[in-house]
Amino acid sequence: MKRFVALPLVAGLAACSPTQTADATKLVDAVQKAAVVACKFVPTATTIANIVSAGSATVPGQIADTICAAVSTTSIVQAAVSAPPVVVINGKTIVVEGHFVK
């Protein structure tokens, strides 16, 4: 299975210690794995970072559930106009990017 590299998240944490950067990479990997299990969707590292920075939970399963809810409830109207799925967390609208897997 193809994984997105966590460079955007890790780049944003460049001032952090190596342990914090490694933790961010582990979080991205854990969320991607949880989302694949839950809804067969691999979110980008940027999507995960944006959700975490908006104040959402930092528990991989909870983040994956938030992402899966967005990609699973994309309406027919949204799909017809090619509007990407979004989540709103603490008033911040976050576009959910990634891809489905079989």
Instruction: Evaluate if residue 13 carries a pLDDT over 90.
Output: no
User: Residue written as tokens 């979004």?
Assistant: 86
- 79: its two tokens: 């799909």
100 or 21, which is more confident?
100
Share of the chain above pLDDT 70, in %: 70
What pLDDT, on the 0 to 100 scale, is given for residue 83? 77
Cβ atoms of residues 98 and 78 within 8 Å? no
Query: pLDDT tens across 34-80, in order?
Result: 999 999 999 999 999 999 999 867 899 999 999 999 998 655 555 55
DSSP reduced 3-state for 92: strand
Query: What are the extents of the domains in the chain?
Result: 7-100
What pLDDT, on the 0 to 100 scale, is given for residue 70? 92
